[in-house]
Amino acid sequence: MRFTLNGAAVSLDVVGSRRLLDVLREDLGKTGTKEGCGEGECGACSVLIDGEVVDSCLVAVGQVEGRNVITVEGLAGPRGELSLLQQAFIEHGAAQCGICTPGMLLAAHVLLKKEQRPDADDVREALAGNLCRCTGYTKIIEAVLSCGT
Amino acid sequence: MVTTSTIGRSVPRREGAAKVTGAALYTDDLVVADAWYGQTVRSTIPRGRIRSITLDPEFDWERVVVVTADDIPGENVVHLIRDDQPVLARVGGEIRHREEPILLLAAPDRNTLEEAVRHVRIDYDPAEPVYALEEATEVYSTINIRKGKDFEDVEGVELVVERSFRVGLQEQLYIEPQGAIAIPWRERGAGSREPGVTIIGSLQCPYYVHRALKRALKLTDEQAVVVQAETGGGFGGKEEYPSMVAIHAALLARKAGRPVRLIYDRHEDLAATTKRHPGVIRHRTGVKKDGTLLSQDIEIVLDGGGYCTLTPVVLSRAAIHATGPYSCPNVRIHARAVATNTPPNGAFRGFGAPQSLFAAELMVEHVAERLGMSSVDLRRKWMLRLGDTTATGQTLTESVGAELVLDAALKAASAVGRSGGRAVKRGRGLSLVFHGSGFTGSGEKKLQGTLAMEALADGTFRILTASTEIGQGTKTIFCQLAADALGVGLDKVDLAPQDTSLVPDSGPTVASRTAMIVGRLVQEAATEIKDRLQRERAPIKVQKSYVQPDSIHWDETTYTGDAYPIYAWACTIADVDVDMTTGEVRVTDLVTAVDCGKALHPVMAEGQIEGGTLQAVGWATIEEIKMKDGGYQNDRLATYLIPTALDAPRIKTILVENPYSRGPFGAKGIGELPMDGPAPAIIAAIHDATGVWLDEIPATPERVLAACASR
Amino acid sequence: MRDVTYLRPGNVRDAVQLYRTTPGCRPLAGGTDLMVMLHAGTLRPAPRAVLDLWSLPELKGVRRANDVLEIGAAEPYTGIIGSRDAQESVPALVAAARTIGAAQIQNRGTLGGNLANASPAGDTLPVLLAYDAVVVTDRRSIPIDEFFVGYRKTALADDELITAVRLPLGRDVVFRKVGTRAAQAISKVVLAVSREPARIAIGSVAEIPLRARRAEVALERNDIAGAVAAVADDIRPIDDVRSTAAYRRQVTQNVLRELLDAFARG
């Protein structure tokens, strides 16, 4: 099967019913995508498929045939320069233990693509599928709001 | 070169870039060649004895590795306070709780592992389990605190108020589940393997794991190596439990002769690992009609679960904080922790204090209501001030912030908005709490946490500490403190890995002690290095250990004296909406003023407070664990619910700086404090909204609606 | 789950053919339930193949035709929420879709999946009952009223696939879900109510999502108090990990009263 991962073509021989999460982590070495629950509750395994945020633990890898997948490793620029959102996460203290951060960034990334100037309620709604236990979400919301243009 | 100090400035987190790019490597992200997968087989009964373990002959056991209690080279005990918890229950041995580890399996792939698990049969002789605190007869520990007279002997009491409170279980819910990788050797230089065991894991306290590993596997100090991987949250949950995971992984690796990954999934983590102690707290308070506080009589019973773990220390902190931050001439506190047949309870941010402060703060409300006084005025009358003594007889000689935080919170809270609709009622509640920073009593003295620092030949400096980064900012703050004392830029300072073969035992990363106690050692080490560099050339290595100031006295036998080096203080004001149709409680806004001594890194200090606050909001409102036959029904993330971004209140944090003379730049530990205040403030706010007093948390819609209906 | 074969048909006809001929085959759409169960190994009998319906164009889209709104069985909730036709003609369904999970789940969850899974707590199911929706399959149309036949059991034949759901236009339905938290929550109680015709549909109070027939009879007589009283006899709530029977009973009545009062006030 083939799909695009962070802009690069990927060709794999895998059983299509395996979880996208496992294929990303174990076969493709993209360990930025985390497993927090394995049942679509925590959002730590969030990735983008064709620009929409999904839990990769709920996606059979066969379902991304021909599609465009973005993981946290795909957010920085070609030379590793951090995106504005990634910089904002550091600056505002939005990442503490960091385990929810990859998924949180991807959910926020989609919001900012769709809504150039979200308000706090928009941010809360967009991030409601990503659990964080360190921050109380306050600094994450601040970081995302600071990226509104 | 002139370097500006970064103390008090929110510099970027040291490992921030790695965390936002996905480059940070947590335990399960590590690729270890030839590693097998491990699994723990656990008891399915809450109490009884193991009659037999049968390995189904239909299965080819050559394909896997099986470890039982007979394979433990050292002592079959998870080293902690008491030696009661076995590494693995043995045939004929006692089972004291559901999910108790009995047997370990490792296999080259997960399918084989799952298949093997299905072919293990364990037969039991069940016994009658004990769940109710009232019926529990086995006691883990008791604490009695006595100040002044017995309750009945106090003169002048004009009103006695009695009330009983109950608090529930809570899961830490770090988003990264427990896990360890064990390698049955240690590396000495490139490719050279020596006898021993290396553990890489998600953990708070490398030396806890080190000690436990040595004892169970009969290893020397050198042979046991424990390395912390990037750790996805702890909150106490990775204080003692990782010792169990590490020993299990090590036993499997040793028998398999190859590395073994033992990574829990969320279900296993929720079902088997430690929780916050539930308990019952009974108060009797004697006052004069004008509100003067004369006497407090408090009984605390905590549920320790099936094994002792850290329960006596949790109980101690619960007892010492049980009066609330108030000055009372006559105090009796009777605290005990009992054994039941549930999975063991253990360390969790706050460590007993949230439980007893919940009751203490609601008692203020009940007394105020009976006196017809404002509870804020009553708090002002009662609150500890400079020169007052606590329940243990500790005289507070500095940095007493009760009034400062009360004033700051009241000033910052906006006017209460009125209710949004017919069915929704608004309310506001307040709480005032204190929390001892650092270990209790002589803990720090006994531990003598040690830290080393090196000046390297290339002009850089390296901090060697076992204090771990678990999201709270250890790495960043230690580098700030060192760079400041050395007078160099932050880029010149780094931390050695948290690896017991490299760093000394700085003590566990717990008890709000890291910035204050170990941070002070960073300062001292850096100051000495700077001084020696005037006369000597790098490389230089210095080592510093905690020295208890002569002014601190603690008597463990009478439970009197200086229980903590210093206290941090907080006032919380919570606004809630209560939906009278459904009983749903929504905490909309929360103001919290915290006396942190000095904010070394304001953004991280706020981050600790906001995170702890929401964790407490969850404990107070929606985080419920229902028991069934000694197990948790809420054993998946679909049933154990923590607040989402849509549930989190708007949190306004005010940092009050009220320096402590022995803390680095005056800093006090505040990691646990934010867990204490929100629950009583929320319950008081629910009362303000509905007129109903709840005595039990979580304040689930079921409880709120039932209370409103019976009114 | 590594032994589970992945089948990807190109159209509905092939899908039905594969479904019929592959032993132990389970249809897969957004995977929000099935992938969890596959991974945890909780499905009995253990499936041997999954039939991926997610990308079939015939199962996608929200279409308005004459007097019905037709929603493809594999159209994700996000598509329903974003559809102007759905917002205009079935706002209660849009409201229900917005309460399901959060963005990640709304991007993958489908009406077809919610129906086939037939959980008594399925958030859209009471809404579909209140709209008198019709479940369209590869071979017939099933009135929603006849669809749920037991705990997680449906009227579908062993080889029958849901292709679409049809809803009437212009019906005024209100919806309320009571969960433990504001997002990512399975309901304690979920209600959908239509005043005309009288429909009171409730989830999480019995082994299936049900119509409260006695309460509906009272409502037809404009007897709101009677409906609120009668609904207690229509439901069969239990104590479980999410709530208690007593709470569910009380809140069903409270919420029904609130919704009917809101209708009365216009």
Query: Which residue ranges make up each domain of chain C?
Result: 5-52, 57-168, 173-265
Could you say which of A71, A97, A105 has the minimum Cβ distance to residue B233? A97
- Give the fold, CATH level 3, of C5-52: 3.30.43
CA distance C135 to B191: 65
Residues B390 and B524 in one domain: no
Query: Most distant CA pair in chain B: distance in Å?
Result: 79
Residue type, B481: L
Burial class (CB in 10 A: 0-12, 13-18, 19+), C225: exposed
User: Is residue B553 assigned to a domain?
Assistant: no
The rounded mean pLDDT for chain B is 97
Residues B534 and B621 in one domain: no
Question: Does residue B137 surpass a pLDDT of 50?
Answer: yes
Predicted-complex ipTM score: 0.99
Query: Which distant-in-sequence residues (6+ apart) come within 8 Å of B423 by Cβ?
Result: B579, B580, B581, C258
Tell if the CB–CB gap between C255 and B581 is shorter than 8 Å: yes
Long-range own/partner contacts, residues B33-36 (CB < 8 A, 24 or more apart): B33/B259, B34/B258, B34/B259, B35/B181, B35/B258, B35/B259, B35/B260, B35/B261, B36/B65, B36/B106, B36/B107, B36/B108, B36/B252, B36/B256, B36/B258, B36/B259, B36/B260, B36/B261
Q: Give pLDDT tens digits for B253-268.
A: 999 999 999 999 999 9
User: Is residue B2 assigned to a domain?
Assistant: no
DSSP B47-109: SEEEEEEEE-TTS-GGGSEEE-GGG-SS-SS--SSSS---SS--TT-EE-STT-EEEEEEESS
| pLDDT confidence of residue B212 | 98
In the CATH hierarchy, which top-level class contains the domain A2-74?
Answer: alpha beta
CA distance B136 to B96: 13
| pLDDT confidence of residue B31 | 97
User: Is residue B133 assigned to a domain?
Assistant: no
Average pLDDT, integer, range B391-405: 98
Q: Give pLDDT tens digits for C216-249.
A: 999 999 999 999 999 999 999 999 999 999 999 9
| pLDDT confidence of residue B3 | 66
Question: Does residue B194 surpass a pLDDT of 80?
Answer: yes
Tell if the CB–CB gap between C181 and B647 is shorter than 8 Å: yes
CA distance B547 to B263: 39
User: Is residue B435 assigned to a domain?
Assistant: yes
| B308 contacts B80 by C-beta, under 8 angstroms | yes
Domain with CATH 3.10.20.30 in chain A: 2-74
Q: Determine how β-strand B450-455 pairs with β-strand B461-464.
A: antiparallel
Could you say which of C35, C78, C107 has the minimum Cβ distance to residue A60? C35
Contacts of A41 in chain C (CB under 8 A): 184
Contacts of A37 in chain B (CB under 8 A): 266, 636-637
Q: Is B639 on the interface with C (CB under 8 A)?
A: yes
Domain range for B36: 32-128+181-272
User: Is residue B554 assigned to a domain?
Assistant: no
Closest among B658, B613, B604, B661 to B402, alpha carbons compared:
B658
Q: Give pLDDT tens digits for B362-390.
A: 999 999 999 999 999 999 999 999 999 99
Residue A51 phi/psi, 5° resolution? Answer: 85, 0
Give the gap in angstroms from C-alpha B233 to the nearest C-alpha of chain A.
5
Give the gap in angstroms from C-alpha B633 to the nearest C-alpha of chain C.
6
List the subunits that have 3+ CB pairs under 8 angstroms with A.
B, C
N- to C-terminal Cα separation, chain C: 52
Give the DSSP H/E element, type plus range, for residue B284. Answer: strand B279-287
| C27 contacts C53 by C-beta, under 8 angstroms | yes
- Interface residue ranges in chain A relative to chain C, Cβ cutoff 8 Å: 15-19, 38-41, 43, 46, 52-55, 57-60, 62-63, 65, 107, 110, 125-131
User: How many CB atoms are closer than 10 A to CB B504?
Assistant: 17
CA distance B689 to B576: 8
Question: Does residue B355 surpass a pLDDT of 50?
Answer: yes
Tell if the CB–CB gap between B645 and A35 is shorter than 8 Å: no
Strands (E), B486-636: 493-495, 540-545, 554-555, 560-561, 566-579, 585-595, 627-628, 631-632
Average pLDDT, integer, range A107-134: 98
| pLDDT confidence of residue C251 | 98
Give the gap in angstroms from C-alpha B449 to the nearest C-alpha of chain A.
24
Query: Which distant-in-sequence residues (6+ apart) come within 8 Å of C260 by Cβ?
Result: C193, C195, C219, C224, C227, C228
Under the banding of pLDDT at 50, 70 and 90, the label for residue B4 is confident
Residues B647 and B519 in one domain: no
Residues B411 and B450 in one domain: no
Among B521, B545, B569, the domain boundary falls at B545
Among B235, B251, B272, the domain boundary falls at B272
| pLDDT confidence of residue C144 | 98
Give the DSSP H/E element, type plus range, for residue B655. Answer: strand B650-656
| pLDDT confidence of residue B414 | 84
* DSSP SS3 for C236: coil
CA distance B316 to C226: 57
Size of interface B-C (CB pairs under 8 A): 60
Residue of A nearest to B172 (CA): A133
Sign of the dihedral through C-alpha A34, B615, B659, B397: negative
Contacts of A71 in chain B (CB under 8 A): 22
| pLDDT confidence of residue C1 | 47
Give the DSSP H/E element, type plus range, for residue B283. Answer: strand B279-287
| pLDDT confidence of residue B608 | 98
Query: Which distant-in-sequence residues (6+ apart) come within 8 Å of B33 by Cβ?
Result: B259
3-state secondary structure B460-525: CEEEECCCCCCCCCHHHHHHHHHHHHHCCCHHHEEECCCECCCCCCCCCCCCCCHHHHHHHHHHHH
Question: Does residue C2 surpass a pLDDT of 60?
Answer: no
Residues B154 and B185 in one domain: no
Average pLDDT, integer, range B99-128: 97
CATH architecture of C57-168: 2-Layer Sandwich (3.30)
Residues forming a β-bridge with B163 = B283
Q: Give pLDDT tens digits for A3-41.
A: 999 999 999 999 999 999 999 999 999 999 999 999 999
Query: Which distant-in-sequence residues (6+ apart) come within 8 Å of C179 by Cβ?
Result: C99, C185, C186, C187, C188
User: Is residue B417 assigned to a domain?
Assistant: yes
| C107 contacts A54 by C-beta, under 8 angstroms | yes
The one-character DSSP state at B665 is G
Sign of the dihedral through C-alpha B474, B475, B477, B481: positive
Average pLDDT, integer, range B222-233: 98
DSSP B317-346: HHHHTTT-SB--SEEEEEEEEEE-SSSPP-
The rounded mean pLDDT for chain A is 97
Domain with CATH 1.10.150.120 in chain A: 84-145
| pLDDT confidence of residue B418 | 67
Q: Is A97 on the interface with B (CB under 8 A)?
A: yes
| pLDDT confidence of residue C60 | 98
Residues B338 and B397 in one domain: yes
Residues B326 and B423 in one domain: yes
Under the banding of pLDDT at 50, 70 and 90, the label for residue B419 is low
With vertex at residue C163, the alpha carbon angle to CA C157 and CA C164, rounded to the nearest 5 degrees, is 120
Give the gap in angstroms from C-alpha A50 to the nearest C-alpha of chain C.
11
Closest among B535, B525, B532 to B496, alpha carbons compared:
B525
Under the banding of pLDDT at 50, 70 and 90, the label for residue B56 is very high
Give the total number of structural domains in chain B. Answer: 3
Could you say which of B13, B31, B610 has the minimum Cβ distance to residue A90? B13
User: How many CB atoms are closer than 10 A to CB B681?
Assistant: 32
Residues B191 and B247 in one domain: yes
B18 compared with B1, residue with greater pLDDT: B18
Tell if the CB–CB gap between A97 and B12 is shorter than 8 Å: no
Among B249, B272, B295, the domain boundary falls at B272
Pick the CATH number of C173-265 from 1.20.1740.10, 3.40.50.150, 2.40.40.20, 3.30.390.50: 3.30.390.50
CA distance A31 to A72: 9
Query: Which distant-in-sequence residues (6+ apart) come within 8 Å of B351 by Cβ?
Result: B236, B310, B313, B314, B317, B318, B510, B511, B672
| pLDDT confidence of residue B617 | 98
Tell if the CB–CB gap between B645 and A31 is shorter than 8 Å: no
* 502-561 of B, contacting A, C-beta below 8 A: none
CATH number for the domain harbouring residue B541:
3.30.365.10
Burial class (CB in 10 A: 0-12, 13-18, 19+), C205: buried
Tell if the CB–CB gap between B641 and C184 is shorter than 8 Å: yes
Under the banding of pLDDT at 50, 70 and 90, the label for residue C163 is very high
| C113 contacts C152 by C-beta, under 8 angstroms | no
Give the DSSP H/E element, type plus range, for residue B370. Answer: helix B353-371
Closest among C107, C44, C105 to A50, alpha carbons compared:
C107
- Give the fold, CATH level 3, of A84-145: DNA polymerase; domain 1 (1.10.150)
CA B362 to chain centre: 23
Give the gap in angstroms from C-alpha B242 to the nearest C-alpha of chain A.
17
Question: Does residue B446 surpass a pLDDT of 50?
Answer: yes
Question: Does residue B174 surpass a pLDDT of 60?
Answer: yes
Residues B430 and B449 in one domain: no
Could you say which of B267, B647, B701 has the minimum Cβ distance to residue C182? B647
